[in-house]
Amino acid sequence: MKILSVDQIHDLDQSTIKSEPIAPINLMERAALAFVNWFADRFPDTTPTKIFCGLGNNGGDGLAIARLLLEREYPVEVHVVRYAPRESDDFMHNHRRLKLVIETINYIESEKDLPAIRHNEVVIDAILGSGLTRPTEGIVKTTVDAINRAPATVVAVDIASGLYADQPNATTDVIIEPDYTVSFQLPKLAFMLPRNGPYVGDWHLVDIRLHKRFIDQAPTNFFFTQPHEARLLLHKRDRYANKGTFGHALLLAGSYGKIGAAVLASRACLRSGVGLLTVQIPRCGYAILQTAVPEAMCRPDSHQNILTGLLDHEVSEQGSPAPADYSVVGIGPGLGKAPETLTMLRQLLPTLSKPMVIDADALNLLAENRDLLSLLPPNSILTPHPKEFERLTSQWTHDYQKLTLLRDFAQQYQVVVVLKGAHSAVATPQGDVHFNATGNPGLSTGGTGDVLTGVLTALLAQGYDPVEAAVLGVYAHGLAGDTVAEERGPIGMIASDLVDALRWR
């Protein structure tokens, strides 16, 4: 699904109005009805509901919503924030219609006009929408503050008042902090950015049948992966396939005290459909890995505690294949940053040409030895969490700057970068960013990144295109997290649960 800019959404509105054709006021009615249907599914018709409206089309939506809720016999109060002398045409139209069916409308011009808001009420925020051009101030700011302080449940119409849809807010901006945002048709870029979490809440989309051809043709670099889109990426399995069909992956992982990371990545790799898996591990991890993951083969390193790339003589005498001979190499989980491990990485990278997966300490070694970045095989997948990404690039002051750094990095080094977090972002060498729909705070626990490395390594081994592997892998990993969270709650989730919850169908 595409994410469009505010200007594009405005043009999309106009294009819908022209092409159907539909009068603007009827498009507003359609939006209000879609909102009300969503609302009625969640809140019973006995819910005391206070609707705060601005003077533009977001406020117009609010007035239409009020009328439609009154028709369904919700106890509704309407409060119009009078911050300017002029209203939009569609606001005026809905104002006239509402006045025919409501006893009173309260106008808020100063603090004394603010109503008390109680905890059993729902507040609908229709003060400002995508037309925001400046920070909230004066009576708008005072009203937003009062709503944020109130104990009620808050639902924002389209976008929280005061939040820019596609550009940064200042940290001092006063913005509605909703429990829910119900947005029209397409998500806004602002919803994808972690620091906006308090200003978005649990966000939902309602379909208002905006012009499909316009959306199909609109250029954008930002996408939101919906479940059905992710599932379409899944390769069907040939019934005559054998284990050779699904590739032979090599995982380079583990150091003394961190063999668990290698175990988790290996198990996830096997649970994600790889044909064969070999794990290169320090000798101290040999018995652990062979016991914990009997399905994997093991290449013990010559070093007891770290990876050096040199194989234990017993293995090398049998003539082990070179890393480049495997379908894919995944490196990083539990690796450590020993000088010998750096040497291994330095020698390994120039020998590889197929896309690889790079995580954890392998990323930190790249960050500390930036000359290695240019040796990465094109289309490799890097999976930093925000701290690791900061080490690879630089500090950022807001999420939009982080997004720019992310896109620039992926384009400069021609790699796929999975920036982990809420709505994990997959940046492509072409400059696109795909935001993920699945996942929850339970994933913020040790080992979940190792699981992702295993998943992605398995998908590349099976011949998935690297961007599709990243989008699908991140989706499946987050979905496993959601499955576990549903069963036991996010707090008790551990990375091993994720491996068991991975589903490919």
Ligand X SMILES: NC(=O)C1=CN([C@@H]2O[C@H](COP(=O)(O)OP(=O)(O)OC[C@H]3O[C@@H](n4cnc5c(N)ncnc54)[C@H](OP(=O)(O)O)[C@@H]3O)[C@@H](O)[C@H]2O)[C@H](O)CC1
Residue 83 binding partner per list ligand X, K ion, none, with a CB distance cut-off of 5 to 8 Å that depends on partner kind? ligand X
Provide, rounded to whole angstroms, the least separation between the CB of residue 50 and K ion: 14
Window 92-131: residues binding ligand X (CB under 6 A): 128-131
**Can you read off the two tokens belonging to residue 370?**
């930036």
Q: Which two tokens stand for residue 239?
A: 């019934």
* Strands (E) located in 192-259: 202-206, 222-224, 248-252
Given ligand X, K ion, none, residue 56, with its beta carbon under 5 to 8 Å by kind, binds ligand X
Q: Which of 410, 276, 264, 412 is nearest to 332 (CA)?
A: 264
Q: Note whether 31 binds ligand X by CB under 6 A.
A: yes
Residues facing residue 106 across a β-bridge: 79
Q: Is 223 in the site for ligand X (CB under 6 A)?
A: no
Sheet with strand 248-252: strands edge to edge = 222-224, 433-435, 425-427, 416-419, 381-382, 357-358, 328-331, 248-252, 276-281, 297-300
Binds 393: which of ligand X, K ion, none (CB < 5-8 Å by kind): none
94 vs 161 by CB, closer to K ion = 161
Does the annotation list 449 as a binding residue? yes
Q: Using CA atoms, how far apart are residues 410 and 415, in angstroms rounded to an integer? A: 5
Site string for ligand X, 339-378 (x = CB under 6 A): ----------------------------------------
Residue type, 40: A
* 355's tokens: 């896309």
Q: Which does 27 bind (CB under 5 to 8 A by kind): K ion, ligand X, none?
A: ligand X
Among candidates 58, 46, 119, which has minimal Cα distance to 87? 58
35 forms part of the interface with ligand X (CB under 6 A): no
Q: How many CB atoms lie within 10 A of CB 192?
A: 24
Helix, coil or strand: residue 77: strand
Which of 3, 4, 9, 293: binder of ligand X (CB under 6 A)? 9
C-beta of 166: minimal distance to K ion in Å?
A: 15
By a kind-dependent CB cut-off of 5 to 8 A, residue 88 interacts, out of K ion, ligand X, none, with ligand X
Letter for the amino acid at 390? E
- Give the long-range contacts of residues 408-414, CB within 8 A, separation 24 or more: 413/373, 413/374, 413/376, 414/378, 414/379
Q: Which is nearer to ligand X, 57 or 225 (CB)?
A: 57
Q: Is 135 annotated in some ligand binding site?
A: yes
Strand order across the beta sheet in which 202-206 lies: 106-108, 76-81, 49-53, 122-126, 153-157, 180-184, 202-206
Annotated binding residue 133: yes
- The nearer residue to K ion, 38 or 396, going by C-beta atoms, is 38
Does 125 bind K ion (CB under 5 A)? Our answer is yes
Residue 48 makes contact with ligand X by CB under 6 A: no
Contact range with ligand X by CB under 6 A, out of 49-57, 68-76, 226-234, 487-495: 49-57
60 is an annotated ligand-binding site residue: yes
Antiparallel, parallel or unpaired: β 416-419 and 425-427: antiparallel
Distances (CA, A) of 226 to 231, 235, 434, 492: 9, 17, 10, 27
Among 132, 157, 182, 206, binds K ion (CB under 5 A): 157
Shortest Cβ 190–ligand X spacing (Å)? 12
Compute the least distance from the CB of residue 201 to K ion, in Å.
12
User: Tokens representing 155?
Assistant: 């639902």
- Give one word for 73, left, alpha or beta, with left for phi > 0 and alpha for psi -120 to 50: left
130: contact with K ion by CB under 5 A? no
Q: Which is nearer to ligand X, 12 or 306 (CB)?
A: 12
Question: Other C-beta atoms within 10 Å of 21: how many?
Answer: 8
Pick the binder of ligand X from 112, 119, 134, 213 (CB under 6 A).
134
Please enumerate in sequence order all residues whose Cβ is within 8 A of that of 7, keeping only pairs 6 or more positions apart, or say none. Answer: none
> Binding string, 159-198, against K ion, x = CB under 5 A?
--x-------------------------------------
Considering the complex, state which of residue 157 and residue 403 has its C-beta at the smaller distance from ligand X: 157
Q: Which stretch binds ligand X (CB under 6 A): 56-64, 264-272, 275-283, 465-473?
A: 56-64
Kindly state whether residue 214 participates in binding ligand X, applying the rule CB under 6 A.
no
58 is in an annotated binding site: yes
Residue from the set 68, 156, 157, 366 that interacts with ligand X by CB under 6 A = 157
Sequence ranges of the binding site for AMP: 420-424, 449
Sequence ranges of the binding site for (6S)-NADPHX: 57-61, 129-135, 158, 261, 334, 385, 450
Sequence ranges of the binding site for K(+): 58, 125, 161
Q: Interface with K ion by CB under 5 A: which residues?
A: 125, 129, 156-157, 161
